Structure 1
């Protein structure tokens, strides 16, 4: 069965931009698009009897998905699109849909919490727990996936040997868009005092840089062979992972990060680097399930 791309909609401006982005993404992938709205009207009002008027909340939810469906068909006439209003809370709806989706697309702020401000719980909870990649667009970001301004994807390469899923996702995105892929890893030399001068050849810092390059090569070696048409650049940059990746996002159409799936945790539901990127990235962020996680 072909898995759909799923987008959460609630009629707000950010969710409609997410619908536009998802329509382009579905066209790039040749995938069906599924629109979902979370509504609890059935729990509180009950199912209306035959022949009676629909409850206002039911009518609003159905009108929202109908309008979003028309928007997709106007923008991408050939897209296979389906829509549904599901009687549950937003996090539960999106996580359930993620079990049978190729990816989830969410805006950053919404009307009923389905695509709310990232400082809230919904987007962070979904990004931390979904079984599939979660693509988060913040308000005002480019709403076109098909014609990105930069034609450049950035992949954050983290630690450990189990980071192939984010790499494969990033390469697929780059190939579909005809974009280049920059695989980026930050490195630090704790013993060096801050200075404007780069470390000279022979200093211990060079060892840390070489280790970062080796990790990049290891992470991309197998996945890159599956996408030979993608122009790949490996970049090891000195600095904090958060700072390096935020700087890289300024010239990218999509930033791909791996995130460890945390079932029991204290504090942030995602790692500190991913949390910062979701709040401050200059481009949409794709959070891809990854056992190893991001730096």
Structure 2
């Protein structure tokens, strides 16, 4: 696997909405753009035209929702400039549903970044309403900055990638390797395997132990193949773990700066992420990158 060539004119796009969660996403996106030497593009989308009439617009300097939008993007731009220098910052404010605007922006982006709001059930509900929808349709890799993530914490120096069986795994490993290279971090590739039932009417104990002994070496072989073309200079760790992949990756996220998973697109309904990506988006302790596979 060759290192991806730099694309300095392809922006990192971040969705903003005025929330603290979105500002954390701006922090992440600004740092990522600086690492890539890429422009940063702030996007605020809202259907304010649903609520503002022409008469109100004539009476005021501008519709309140439109004025509010300007305040939001200005605040986000000030936040971004505190984290990076240079004029390569653009803002876009559009009267459109945020899901549609962000998916469209992803067609010409190197990376799309969003945040989530709240914690627990509220976080899940809001994540599902925007970020999950966008993640299921994005045309470029997308990072979701999880609730509670704090950029002031000391980096772990580790990028974790989940290694699956589908074609999206190759894209996820490429992306994760590049992220590890940019950060000078270790790339940890994780492959989960499940222990078969110890004994069933169809699988006696001896056969079950034999099957278990075959699963872990097979997982190690899959890891070796997935990492076979990682560029020289990227330090890699391979880890097999018994258990469900969603649980294994969620546990690994507590010692990671970024968790990367592939999103399979073939043979699935449009916009369907799959259980692994959906699960880690809700449970990860660190930002999650969703890398779309071939359609």
- Inter-partner Cα distance in structure 2 for 1:241 and 1:52: 55
Please list the CA deviations of residues 184-243 of structure 1 after superposition, one character each: whole Å capped at 9, or x if unmatched.
0001131336xxxxx9xx833221111111111111112x0xx21111011111111112
Regions of 4+ moved over 2 Å: 41-52, 115-121, 160-163, 261-266
Measured against aligned partners, the alpha-carbon deviations of 1:96-118 in whole angstroms (never above 9, x if no partner) come to 000010111111128xxxx9855
Distance between the aligned counterparts of 1:263 and 1:59, measured in 2? 44
Confirm or deny that 1:88 pairs with 2:96: yes
Q: Distance in 2 between matches of 1:171 and 1:204?
A: 32
Higher helix fraction (1 or 2)? 2
- Name the structure 2 match of 1:275: 278
Measure the CA separation in 2 of the matches of 1:99 and 1:249. 28
Distance 1:170 1:229 in 2: 14
Match of 2:228 in 1: 221
Per mean C-alpha deviation after superposition, the further-off stretch among 72-81 and 180-189 is: 72-81
The alignment status of 1:238 with 2:246, answered yes or no, reads: no
Q: Which residue of 2 aligns with 1:265?
A: 269
Distance 2:171 2:111 in 1: 13
Gaps of 5+ in 2: 1-6, 200-205
Aligned match of 1:173 in 171, 174, 179? 179
For the pair 1:248 / 2:252, whether they are aligned, the reply is yes
Q: Secondary structure at the match of 1:250?
A: helix
How far apart in 2 are the matches of 1:74 and 1:116?
Answer: 30
Secondary structure (helix, strand or coil) at the match of 1:129 reads: coil
Matched residues in 2 for 1:148 and 1:117: separation?
Answer: 29
Deviates more, 1:160-169 or 1:236-245: 160-169
Instruction: Specify the alignment match of 1:9 in structure 2.
Output: 16
CA contact 1:128–1:260 (8 Å) conserved in 2: no
Q: Which runs of 5+ in 1 are unaligned?
A: 194-198
Q: Distance between the aligned counterparts of 2:246 and 2:187, measured in 1? A: 19
- Two-structure CA RMSD over aligned residues (Å): 2.7
C-alpha deviation, 1:45, in angstroms: 2.9
- State which drifts further: 254-263 or 95-104: 254-263
* Contact 2:167–2:294 (8 Å) recurs in 1: no
Matched, 1:136 2:134: no
- When the two structures are superposed, what TM-score results if normalisation uses the length of structure 1? 0.85
1:250 CA displacement: 1.1
1:30 maps to 2:37 = yes
Deviation at 1:68, TM superposition (A): 1.0
